[in-house]
Amino acid sequence: MYEDETIIPKFDAETFIEKVRNLEEGEGYDILEDEGYEVIPEIKEYFEKLEITDTMVSEITELTSDGGDEIYLQIIPFWDGEDDTFDVKSADDVKLLPMLKKASLLFEYPGIELIKIFAENGVILESI
């Protein structure tokens, strides 16, 4: 949604944290060094509250996630992809994407129930 500018401005973790925590420029705080190996709570909360409207997703036909997606590195800047932090564990929101036909998602094995829910919604599910 950043690429096609559906959501603007583009999110930047350091700028966001400086504003949220009211840090002065040059205060010596380095979000990457200080907190970059764990989920940064304020950033996670920002994305959880980010309003994504029906109109914004109405034409999405395919979803692809990859361990190198920028969103993951905004939430955990030094995430190495070696854990299941961002694995898809629920298909509850698949019904919000009425045109979705294919999803290539980040996980080792999604489980029968997850595969079933995607299939019931007409979505071919692949793991990467």
pLDDT tens, N- to C-terminus, the chain (128 residues): 777 778 888 888 888 887 887 766 655 556 667 778 899 899 999 999 999 999 989 989 998 887 788 888 889 988 888 888 888 888 888 989 999 999 887 666 667 888 889 899 999 987 66
What confidence score (pLDDT) does residue 97 get? 92
Structural domain contains residue 5: no
Domain hosting 38: range is 13-127
Question: How far apart are the C-alpha atoms of 16 and 78, rounded to whole Å?
Answer: 17
Structural domain contains residue 1: no
Task: At 88, list the tokens.
Answer: 């898809």
pTM of the model: 0.75
Structural domain contains residue 8: no
What confidence score (pLDDT) does residue 121 get? 92
Q: Which residues partner with 124 through β-bridges?
A: 102
The domain total for the chain is 1
Structural domain contains residue 2: no
Question: How far apart are the C-alpha atoms of 108 and 28, rounded to whole Å?
Answer: 39
Structural domain contains residue 90: yes
Angle, helices 41-49/13-20, rounded to nearest 10 degrees: 100
Structural domain contains residue 87: yes
Burial class of 100 by CB neighbour count within 10 A (0 to 12, 13 to 18, 19+): buried
Structural domain contains residue 3: no
Structural domain contains residue 18: yes
What confidence score (pLDDT) does residue 107 get? 65
